[in-house]
Structure formats: C-alpha cells, structure tokens
Structure 1
Amino acid sequence: MKLKLLKIRNFRSYSNEVEIRIDDLNVLIGRNDVGKSSIMEALDIFFNGKPDFSDLSIGAGELQIDITCVFSDLPDSLILDDSVSTSLASEFLLNDDGDLEIVKQFKFSRAGTLTAESFIKCLYPDNEALDDLLSKKRNTLKLQLDELGIGHEGVNRTQSKDLRRAIRDHYYPGQEVQTTQKLIKIEGKLDNEDNRKKIWASISKYLPIYSLFFVDKKLDDQDSDIQDPMKEIVKEVLGRPDIAPLLEQLKEQIQSASTVLADATIEKVNELDVTLAETLRSNFPKEPSWNTIFKLSLEDDRGISLNKRGSGIRRLVLLSFFRAQVDRRKTDQAPNVIYALEEPETSQHPDFQMMIVNSMKELAETENAQVIFTTHNSNLAGEIPKSSLRYIFKEDGNTQIESGTNEDGTDNVEIIDRIIETLGALPDPKNKVKVLIFVEGENDVNGLINYSKMLNNHDANILNLDNNESVAFIPVGGSQLKFYVEKKYLDGLTQAQFHLYDSDKPEYVQKVQELNAENNPRKIGFNTTKRELESYLHIDAILECYAEKGIDITLEAIEEDTDLPLEVAKAVHSVNGEGTWEEMHSDPRLLIEKQKSKISRVKQRLNTDAISKMTVPRLQETEGFDEIVMWLNQISDFINN
C-alpha cells in the first residue's frame, strides 16, 4: 500500500480540515511555525502513537482530532479473517475512488482523558441489516444464514467471506448491491469477540511503516521520542516478507501453548467454583510488539551511543542510513516505508546537504518507499520536481496547503512564485549564461554532462559541461523548481541556443527542422543519429554498472531501433523475480505506472552509472564518439564567440 492523501482536522494550527496529496517524494515548504512539522507528526500519530490534549486546535469547537489516511496501490487479495484470500473490494471496504480510507478519531474529555477509535470510510451496502456483518465470526454467520433460510448450495460454510456474500445476496436478490458512504468502526471500544478486531489486525499488517526523524530535538534522558536510525532498521527488518511469517508462526505457537495452560487453569477453577469459571476465558488483548524486544545501537569504542553524540555526527549517520537504504532497496525486497525528515540541511556542510537530498530523491524512486521532508534551503528546493512541492501558508486565519502543480499536471504558477518568494533567492543564471542547452528531460542533462566529463578527461580541449556557469540546461519537460526559475529569468534574453533531442519522436524531428530553417547563426538543433541518447552506451558498460550493484542481467545485442531503457528495465525486473513484465499488476492503469517507474529508474542509472563505465574505445565502437564531440564543439563555439 502507498499513502495517497492525508486529511487533518482540529490538530494544532489545522482547525479546519485540510488535505495534502502525498506522492513518492514530498517537500514541505513554508515560513516558520506555519505547520510543516505538524504534518509529519500527525502521520506519526496515525501510524505509531496518540496525540496529547495540547495538540487540539486552540478554540476548537469540539474536543476531537481527526487524522485520515487514504491508501492506493492496494493488494489484489489479502487474508482478513480466514486462511483464504478475499479482497477489500469484495468486502465493500473501499471509498468511491477505489482506495482504502482509514479515519482515526481521538476524543478528549474535559479532564484530558483520551479515547481513540479507527474507522474505514467506504461505500458499504445501504441495508441496515448488513451494518454489523463484518463484526460476526463464522459460527454466528452460519447461524444467521440458517435463520434467513438461505440454502447451502454454492456456499462454502467454512469460509466467512462466502457466508457474508450469501447474506448480502439474500438482501439484494438478483441485483447489484446498492451502496452508500459509511464509517465502519474497526478499532476502539470493540468487544473481544467482535470479528472486526481480527479484520483490522490483518489490514494493519499491510500498512506502510512510518519512520520519522527529528534528530535535533533537545536531548533529555526522559524524552522517549529521540530518534535513532538503528531503531528504524529493526522496525523495517521485522516487516520483511521473509521475517514477518516467522514472527507470526512464533506468535501462534506461543499463544497456542499459553492458551492450553490458561484453559487448564480455568478447568481447575471450575472444580472449585463453577460460576467463577464460566466468567473466565483466555485472551491476548493486543499484538506483541517485537520492536520493543530487539535493541540495536551504534556505539563508539568508549561505549558512547549515537543519541549522546552531537547533532552534526548524528546527521552524518542519518545521511549514511538513507544512502544505505537506497542501495539496499534496489536489490532487496522490503516492506512499504514512509521516511520523514525535518530540514536535512541543518548542521551539515553544503556537500552533505546535497548528498542527503539526492539520496532521498533516489529513495523515493525505489519500490515501496515514500519520502517527506521539510526545508528552508532554496538550493535544495531547486533540485526538487515541482510536482513534489507542497506549500503551507495561512490565509484568512486558516492554514492551507497547495501543490506545485495542478491536478492536470500543469504548473501552479501562483504557488510556485510564492514558494520562490518564501525561500529567498534561487540561482540566477542570467548574468553568466552564454548558451542555453535545450534537451528533452533531466536524464539527458545527466547524460550529456557525464559524456563531456569522460571526453574532457581524454582530451582537455573538449568542453566539460560539469558545473560550467557559461551554460544553462533547459529541459523541455523539465519539472524541477530550478528549471522553472531559469526559464523565467531567461525569457526574452538573447543567449545562443543549442537544441538536442532524440530521434524517436517525430515532433522533435520536426522541431529541429523548423529551428534550423530559421538560418539563425545563434541557434542550432540536432537529433540524435541513433534512436536516443542511451543508444550510444556500450552493452559492457551497462552490464558492469548493474553487476556492481549485485544485479546480473542478460541483454541481447543492441540494434539501431532497440528501446534500450525498456529492454534493460525488463531484464532487471526478470532478475528480481517479480513475475512477468506484463503481469506486474492486474489494473492496466497501475501496470503502466509501474512500468514507467521502472523505466525511469533505469534511464537515471544508464545516464549516470553506466556512462561512468564508458571509455573512448567503447564510445567509438558504438559510433558515438565523433557525434558527441561535434555537439560539444558546437556549444564551445557559442561560448567563445
């Protein structure tokens, strides 16, 4: 499951309900004390804890906090209360968008006593006779089936899901089940015999792990919230697919053996007092908390733990944690995790700031990971796609949240401009730039820069584009904030223009023809002779870069028309043993999204890691040496003239 939407009401500055869209990467921006950290702490309460009375919004009309999370990318089937699979859709537990929406309500008394309840907001059958259907265990369902006179034919009476289906069909004979929006309570003030407790325990196993890092809080021996990456490592390992079943098996064995002993005790009580024995039964009131059993820490040779070190040291360890997660998640199965971090720039050298932001961007691109962080740093924010930006502000006394892009994917210009104003000055290239280099996307930027570095090392006379202040890259589809700023600054300026586009898209071939037809000596365009920029890679460079990560892929020979990123993505997918490329998901829309995501990650790696394995002889063998040198020489001529 992946978090899709967060709703908060009556929590701190969020008195009115606000919604925040959650993507794979989310960067929260706003002025101090506007409510950025509150969003991350609201999620921590949802997944891991409970609020304090002081968390209620000042002047709240009622003593209740609501935190709602909406999840997408749901499992096609899951085990709820039987040993057989069912689905959230067939149990009518999805909202009108087909997502899982969980509402947690925290109610306070005037004395500050807290009551917590959880609900699933869903389109549920509108017949009141079915309202308590999920609360009934199998034996009760069988009794109801008999009371309603429902025949046994076609009903598997050993499966609760079949019994519930038969009862629903009884109330909607020969017609589609009519639904209405309802809140189905799944946690809080439920009798131990209520089947919904078992259903919730099953669903909660599929929820993401939420890891919040506030590592610069004031240290206090009594502060239980001090965060340590080692704690999160244990939590994540416990959720792995190869570990979780073992823990479940151990839990069942312990509970079974303990129940036998407890029942034997009740039998002895029965010999002494029958009335008392009838009121007793064995029960485990809550699930075991394995992460409180296993303790992992980092200590120096003096035995001083990480939590007792300075904030700069703890941030370096945190940086290393995120970098290690990036590498591991590319080659290993892992549970869904949401990582949240406050201001990665704090107490760090600018180089380390950029490393941690790049690590978090890469982490967000891996399977089953989402990232949220706050920042006040304009340079860091400039590296983030506009679609990942969330701007938090107050208007008319209410806290509001807006995204950097609209729902249709277009730029939310007003909000982006407010983000720029809030962050302060972003890089202004207009006084130094001599050449604008137009490419299709950010991967092409990386590819061209990395080829130029390699060729410059071979011949110092060849232009090196890395950190070259004379050029500004303008991805035609550029999504990062810095590209928005550069485009805005460069509108109407007279720099020379160099355009480079792949040849696989007719619209870009046409664009280059039209541009060159202007006969403007300060403008020139090229299409790649090969299919795309990745096509100039040598197959050995690709195999080596993946082997270095422990992924041994097999590729056929690269032909002129080979869609290389697609073929590499398929090869990596096959090695990871995740089923066929065409069957990653039963939903065609989600299938396309997953395939695009994998291809995007491959493109990023090809234009960085694979190019680092390229040599001049390899580039000559793929017939790309002369062409790429010609491009760089043309850019150099523009700079010097």
Structure 2
Amino acid sequence: MKLNKVKLKNFRGYSKETEILIEDLNVLIGRNDVGKSSILEALDIFFNGKPDKNDLSIDHDNSQVEITCIFNDIPESLILDDTVKTSLKDEFLLNKEGNLEIKKKFPISRTGSVSEESVIICEHPDNPKLEDLLSKKRTTLKLFFEELKIDDKGVNRTKSKEIRKAIRQHFYEDEIQTETKEIKIDGKLDNEDNKKKIWTNLKKYLPLFSLFFVDKPLNDQDSDIQDPMKEIIKEVLKRDEIQPLLDTLKNAVQDASTAMADETIEKLNELDSELAETLKSNFPKEPTWNSIFKLTLEDNRGVPLNKRGSGMRRLVLLSFFRAQIEKRRTANAPNIIYALEEPETSQHPDFQIMIVNALKELSETENAQVLFTTHNSNLAKEISKSSLRYIYKDEQGENQVENGTNDDGTDNENIIDRIIETLGALPDPKNKVQCLIFVEGENDINGLINYSKLLNAHDSEILNLENNEKIAFIPTGGSQLKYYIEKKYLDGLIQAQVHIYDSDVAYYIQSIKDLNAEGNPNKVGYNTSKLELENFLHPDAINECYKELNIPIEITEVLDREDVPKKVAKAVHNTNGDTEWEKMHPDKAKLAEKQKKKLSKAKRQLNNLAIEKMTIERLKERDGFDEIKDWLNKIKTFLN
C-alpha cells in the first residue's frame, strides 16, 4: 500500500483544504517558513501522533485540524476481522477512484485539549439499514442474518465476510447502489464495535512513516541519530516473519492476564456481587512493541554517538539510507515512507549530493517512498520535474502547492523558472565549468562517468569525468530536448556543448543532425552507434553484477539493437517474481507503472554496478572502446 495524496485543512498555514500529490520521490521546495515542513509534520501526526493546540490554523473554520491520506496499490486481499481474507473493495471501503481514503479529525477545545477520530471516506451501500453492518461482530451478524430470514444456502456462516455479503445482497435486487459516506473507524467507539478490530488490522497494512531532522540539536533524550536506530526497530517489528511471533506473545499475555483478572472478579463477587457484575477485563490498546526494544550506537569506549561530532552523525544517517537501499534490493521489506528535513542545511556540497542521490535511489526500490524539503533551488536541477512540489503563498497569503507536472502528465515548464525567480540560483563563484554535457537522464550521466573511469584507468590521457569541476551535465530527457536544441536556451553561455543521446528514438537522431548542421564549433552532438548506452555492456558483466546482488540471472548475449534494460528487468523479475511479466497486475495502468519501475531499477544497476564489472577487453569485444574514447577526447578539447 502506497501513499498517493495528502490533504491538509486548518493545519498551520493550510487553512483551506490543500491537496498534495505524493509519488515515489517528492521534493518540497520553497522559501523558509512557507509550509514545507508542515507537510512532513502533518504526515508524522497522521501516522505516529497527534497535533497540539498551536497546530490549529489561525484562520480555521471549525476548530478542527483535518489530515487526510489517500493510498493506492491496495492489496487484493487482506485480513480484517476474520482469519479469512477479504478485500476493501468487497467491504465497500474504497473511494470513487478505488483508493483507500482515511481522514483523521482532531477537534481542539477552547481549553486546548485535543481529541481524535478517524473515518474512511468510501462508496458505501446507500441503504440506511447497512450503515452499521461493519460494526457487528459475527454473533450479532448471525442474529441479524436470521432476523432477515435470508436463505443460508451457499453461505458459510463461520465467515463474517460471507454473512455481510449475503445481507447486502438481500437489500438489492441487482447491483448494489452506493453513495459517498464517512465510516467512523476510530475515536470513541464502543468496545463491542467490530470496526475497532477492523481498524487495528487495517493499520498493519499502512506504510511506516519515518521523519528525520538532519541538523537538529542533539541531546540524550531526543536526537536525530537515535531516529535511524528507532526506525530499524519499527521496521523489523513489522516484518512478515516477526509479526506472528508478536501476535503469539500478545495472545499468551492477554489470555493469562484475562484469566487472572476474571479470578479477581470472582473473588470480588463474594464480597459485592452488584459491583462485580459491572466489571469485565479489557485491553484498551494494542501493545507498543517499539517502546520496549531499545537500540543505540556507541564506540568501544561506550560513548554514545549523539555525543560525537555532527559530521560523524550525518555519515551514520547517510549510511542508514544506503543500507536501506541494499536491503530493499533483495528483501521483502514492509512499505515505508522516509521524510527528511532540509538535507543541505549547513552541509558540505558533496554530502548534499551524496544524500540526495541516496534518497533518489532509495525511492526507486520496492515499497519505499521518499520526501524531503529544501529551499535550495540548485538542488531542483538534480530532480526530475515529476518529483517537484513548489510551495508558495498566493496574494491572499494562502499556502499553495504547484506540481512539477500538469494534470495531463505533461511537464510544468514554468516551475523551474518560478523556483529560481523566488529563491534565486547560486552562481559558481569560480566559474570553473567549461563544457556542458547534454544527456537524456541520470542513468546516462552515471554510465558516462563510469565508462570514463574505466578508460582513464587504462590510459591516463583519456578524460575522467568523475568529480571534474570543468564539466557539468544537463539532463534533457523527454520534452526538454526541444527547448535546449530548437530554442537554443543556453546558447548565450560561454561554455561549449557536447550532446550525447541514444539512437532508440527518431527524434533524438534528427536533433543531433540539426545541431551538427548549425556548424557551430562550440557545439557537437553524437548518437550512440548501438540502440542505447546499455548495449555497450558485456553479458558477463551483467551476470556478475546481479550475482553480487544475490539475483542469479543468465544473459547469454547482448545485441546492438535490443532493449537491454527491458531484457534484464524481465530476467530479474522471472527470477524473483511469482507472476509473468505481462501479468503483474490486472489493471493496465498499474501494470505499466510496475514495469516502468523495474525498468528504471535495471537501468540504474546496469549503468552503475554492471559497468564496474566491465573491463577494457569486454568493452572492446562489444565495439564500444573507440566510440566512447572519441566522445571523451572531444570533450577534452573544450577544456583548458
């Protein structure tokens, strides 16, 4: 289950309901104190806590904070109130779009006390006699079933979901008619209300949410370095193999405790029978396991890490994210949302790029989403437009959120200009960049850098692009290419331009022809002789790469005009997956989304780990040595 949207109302600067789209990677960018952190902290409240009276917007309309989360990628089946699986669709708990929409309401009294209730906004049967159907436990359901005199032929009355289904069908001759309703699932519900059990089980399927403050002041009780250790405990406790053990322990403790409590009531009955009749044992809350287990890091002298320098603490945080990437490549980890507050604050630029790249890579792993805030417009250029969320205040002082893409999926071309206009762009004070290298995307950047390292290690006269301050990469993938070539947006700069694109798209080939036809000595373009940059890889390098990731695949050959990332992604899926490539999801849009994510992951692995397994001999065998050497030598001619 993944977070798809969040809606805020009456929360700090978000007085009117504001919707924020959430994808795998989300970068909230804007001025200081404009409402970026409020989004992260609202999510932390939704998943982990409760607001205080000061979180209520000054311009509120009803003294009630509302935080709504909408989830997609819903499990096809899940356990709710039985040991038998059902589905949210069959229980009419999905909204019009087929997603799970949960709203948490926090009324705040005049004295400042905060209460809480949760509702599911869903398309529910419109018959009023079915409004409290989910509230009924199995015994009560059976009584209702009998009162309605429903024919029980074919109905398994030991399964609550089948009884509910039969009761719903009893009230409708044909298709069940629905209307949008709010179904209360938490907050002042009677202990006998079955929805309490449904909500308890449903929460197990929601993602974990982890909020980190990189530059937060540290002390023994509250430190950001403790956060990764806490999140390790939270994530381990939610693993599939751990949950049954916790349930067994919980049931054993509850059974033994209930027995002792009942014995106490029996003895009380001997003294005061009227009082004893009013009492019963009850566990009002589920156990909070993560408060029981403590995990810390300390050196061999016993000095805790929160007493060490900030640089070391940040290295641990970066290492935590990198470890998550490694783990999620091979493990069936629970869904988790990582949120990070301004990673660039007071940090060396190298660390900024390292942690941003780690977060980007983490967002591409299975079952992970990433959000981070920044007020640095320079970081925006490292992120695809689809991941950008620009936060600003309109003329009326209301918080607004603008997406990097439009409603129809096309790029919001103005967002970068608006960000730079608002925040400014930091110039390079030494103006070291002498050549701009235009490529399609981040994977091509990594591929070129890694190939240049390989060739440079073979011949030191060949240019090494890694950490070279004289060159800068500009991704031009998708619709951006025409703006750089046709409109010549960067021609006013003094830097030379080298464009290197794949030859898998006719438009890329024509663009290079048009660019070279200009006859500008400071601009040159290349198309790969093979279909894509990944076609230069040797099959042995690909196999060794995935063997190191504990994913055994066998690529016997790489052809010049085949889609190598797709070939590898399908091979990896066939090794790890339990469904066919074309049958990962019945919905075509969801299927395309899943395939796209696997392709993206394959491209990243191929342009990083697989190239590390390449040798000069393997590159020459794939006829790529001379071609890549020519590109690098041309770039070198533009450098002083």
Fold similarity call, TM over 0.5 = yes
Q: Does 1:204 align with 2:203?
A: yes
Q: Do the aligned residues in 1 keep the contact of 2:101 with 2:120 (CA within 8 Å)? A: yes
Q: Do the aligned residues in 2 keep the contact of 1:215 with 1:311 (CA within 8 Å)? A: no
Deviation at 1:601, TM superposition (A): 1.1
Alignment partners' CA distance in 2, 1:619 and 1:251: 58
Q: Go from structure 1 to structure 2 and tell me whether the alpha carbon gap of 1:487 and 1:293 turns closer, same or farther (over 3 Å shift).
A: farther
Counterpart AA for 1:622: R
Corresponding residue for residue 330 of structure 1? 329
Counterpart AA for 1:422: T
Q: Deviation digits for residues 136-158 of structure 1, max 9, x if unmatched?
A: 11111111111112111122111
In terms of mean alpha carbon deviation, does 217-226 or 406-415 score higher? Answer: 217-226
Counterpart AA for 2:55: D
SS in 2 for 1:231: helix
SS in 2 for 1:552: coil
Deviation at 1:269, TM superposition (A): 4.1
Deviation at 1:347, TM superposition (A): 3.7
Alignment partners' CA distance in 2, 1:217 and 1:447: 36
Corresponding residue for residue 409 of structure 2? 409
In terms of mean alpha carbon deviation, does 374-383 or 609-618 score higher? Answer: 374-383
Alignment partners' CA distance in 1, 2:370 and 2:449: 27
Deviation at 1:86, TM superposition (A): 0.8
The percent of aligned pairs where both chains have the same amino acid is 67
Corresponding residue for residue 314 of structure 2? 315
Q: Deviation digits for residues 434-480 of structure 1, max 9, x if unmatched?
A: 66544433322322232223213322343444455665544431699
Alignment partners' CA distance in 2, 1:569 and 1:545: 13
Q: Deviation digits for residues 111-152 of structure 1, max 9, x if unmatched?
A: 122211000011111111111111011111111111112111
Alignment partners' CA distance in 1, 2:222 and 2:534: 52
Alignment partners' CA distance in 2, 1:29 and 1:309: 31
The TM-score, its normalising length taken from structure 2, stands at 0.91
Alignment partners' CA distance in 1, 2:12 and 2:39: 10
Counterpart AA for 1:415: I
Counterpart AA for 1:392: I
SS in 2 for 1:115: coil
Q: Deviation digits for residues 71-91 of structure 1, max 9, x if unmatched?
A: 111111101111111111111
Corresponding residue for residue 557 of structure 2? 557
In terms of mean alpha carbon deviation, does 78-87 or 251-260 score higher? Answer: 251-260
Map 1:367-378 → 2, pairs under 5 A? 367-378=366-377
In terms of mean alpha carbon deviation, does 383-392 or 93-102 score higher? Answer: 383-392
Corresponding residue for residue 227 of structure 2? 228
Q: Do the aligned residues in 2 keep the contact of 1:93 with 1:121 (CA within 8 Å)? A: yes
Corresponding residue for residue 244 of structure 1? 243
Counterpart AA for 1:337: I
Counterpart AA for 1:627: E
Q: Do the aligned residues in 1 keep the contact of 2:446 with 2:608 (CA within 8 Å)? A: yes
Corresponding residue for residue 18 of structure 2? 18
Q: Do the aligned residues in 2 keep the contact of 1:386 with 1:480 (CA within 8 Å)? A: no
Q: Deviation digits for residues 15-44 of structure 1, max 9, x if unmatched?
A: 111111111111111212112211111111
Counterpart AA for 1:212: L
Corresponding residue for residue 455 of structure 1? 455
Corresponding residue for residue 601 of structure 2? 601
Counterpart AA for 1:155: V
Counterpart AA for 2:191: N
Deviation at 1:299, TM superposition (A): 1.8
Q: Does 1:35 align with 2:45?
A: no
Alignment partners' CA distance in 1, 2:384 and 2:479: 5
Q: Do the aligned residues in 2 keep the contact of 1:386 with 1:404 (CA within 8 Å)? A: yes
Corresponding residue for residue 278 of structure 1? 277
Q: Do the aligned residues in 2 keep the contact of 1:80 with 1:199 (CA within 8 Å)? A: yes
Q: Go from structure 1 to structure 2 and tell me whether the alpha carbon gap of 1:427 and 1:589 turns closer, same or farther (over 3 Å shift).
A: farther
Alignment partners' CA distance in 2, 1:116 and 1:640: 63
Alignment partners' CA distance in 2, 1:357 and 1:20: 21
Q: Go from structure 1 to structure 2 and tell me whether the alpha carbon gap of 1:469 and 1:294 turns closer, same or farther (over 3 Å shift).
A: closer
Q: Deviation digits for residues 504-543 of structure 1, max 9, x if unmatched?
A: 3344445556666777777655443333211111122222
Q: Go from structure 1 to structure 2 and tell me whether the alpha carbon gap of 1:492 and 1:222 turns closer, same or farther (over 3 Å shift).
A: closer
Corresponding residue for residue 168 of structure 1? 168
Corresponding residue for residue 362 of structure 1? 361
Q: Do the aligned residues in 1 keep the contact of 2:225 with 2:317 (CA within 8 Å)? A: no
Q: Deviation digits for residues 575-625 of structure 1, max 9, x if unmatched?
A: 435544334333332122111101111101211221122121111111222
Q: Deviation digits for residues 480-508 of structure 1, max 9, x if unmatched?
A: 99x99999850566976654433333444
Counterpart AA for 1:201: T
Alignment partners' CA distance in 2, 1:101 and 1:72: 9
Counterpart AA for 1:259: T
Corresponding residue for residue 388 of structure 2? 389
In terms of mean alpha carbon deviation, does 84-93 or 8-17 score higher? Answer: 8-17
Deviation at 1:368, TM superposition (A): 0.9
Q: Go from structure 1 to structure 2 and tell me whether the alpha carbon gap of 1:331 and 1:92 turns closer, same or farther (over 3 Å shift).
A: same
Q: Go from structure 1 to structure 2 and tell me whether the alpha carbon gap of 1:468 and 1:114 turns closer, same or farther (over 3 Å shift).
A: closer
Q: Go from structure 1 to structure 2 and tell me whether the alpha carbon gap of 1:485 and 1:314 turns closer, same or farther (over 3 Å shift).
A: farther
Q: Do the aligned residues in 2 keep the contact of 1:217 with 1:226 (CA within 8 Å)? A: no
Deviation at 1:352, TM superposition (A): 1.8
Unmatched tracts of structure 1, length 5 or more: none
Alignment partners' CA distance in 1, 2:590 and 2:375: 34
Deviation at 1:629, TM superposition (A): 2.5
Q: Deviation digits for residues 247-286 of structure 1, max 9, x if unmatched?
A: 1222222223333333344444445554434323222111
Corresponding residue for residue 62 of structure 2? 62
Corresponding residue for residue 193 of structure 1? 192
Q: Do the aligned residues in 2 keep the contact of 1:6 with 1:67 (CA within 8 Å)? A: yes
Unmatched tracts of structure 2, length 5 or more: none
Deviation at 1:312, TM superposition (A): 3.5
In terms of mean alpha carbon deviation, does 564-573 or 289-298 score higher? Answer: 564-573
Q: Do the aligned residues in 2 keep the contact of 1:214 with 1:226 (CA within 8 Å)? A: no
Q: Deviation digits for residues 91-125 of structure 1, max 9, x if unmatched?
A: 11111111111000011221122211000011111
Deviation at 1:394, TM superposition (A): 1.3
Q: Go from structure 1 to structure 2 and tell me whether the alpha carbon gap of 1:97 and 1:26 turns closer, same or farther (over 3 Å shift).
A: same
Deviation at 1:197, TM superposition (A): 0.3
Counterpart AA for 1:178: Q
Q: Go from structure 1 to structure 2 and tell me whether the alpha carbon gap of 1:621 and 1:322 turns closer, same or farther (over 3 Å shift).
A: same
Alignment partners' CA distance in 2, 1:212 and 1:511: 44
Corresponding residue for residue 136 of structure 2? 136
Q: Do the aligned residues in 1 keep the contact of 2:206 with 2:335 (CA within 8 Å)? A: yes
Paired residues in the alignment total: 638
Q: Go from structure 1 to structure 2 and tell me whether the alpha carbon gap of 1:30 and 1:247 turns closer, same or farther (over 3 Å shift).
A: same
Q: Go from structure 1 to structure 2 and tell me whether the alpha carbon gap of 1:251 and 1:586 turns closer, same or farther (over 3 Å shift).
A: farther
Alignment root-mean-square deviation, CA: 3.1
Alignment partners' CA distance in 1, 2:216 and 2:634: 53
SS in 1 for 2:421: helix
Counterpart AA for 2:85: S
Alignment partners' CA distance in 2, 1:248 and 1:401: 42
SS in 1 for 2:115: strand
Q: Do the aligned residues in 1 keep the contact of 2:24 with 2:369 (CA within 8 Å)? A: yes
Deviation at 1:406, TM superposition (A): 1.6
Q: Go from structure 1 to structure 2 and tell me whether the alpha carbon gap of 1:476 and 1:316 turns closer, same or farther (over 3 Å shift).
A: closer
Q: Go from structure 1 to structure 2 and tell me whether the alpha carbon gap of 1:313 and 1:492 turns closer, same or farther (over 3 Å shift).
A: closer
Alignment partners' CA distance in 2, 1:444 and 1:216: 32
Q: Go from structure 1 to structure 2 and tell me whether the alpha carbon gap of 1:487 and 1:438 turns closer, same or farther (over 3 Å shift).
A: farther
Alignment partners' CA distance in 2, 1:518 and 1:227: 58
The TM-score, its normalising length taken from structure 1, stands at 0.91
In terms of mean alpha carbon deviation, does 588-597 or 516-525 score higher? Answer: 516-525
Q: Go from structure 1 to structure 2 and tell me whether the alpha carbon gap of 1:384 and 1:508 turns closer, same or farther (over 3 Å shift).
A: closer
SS in 2 for 1:233: helix
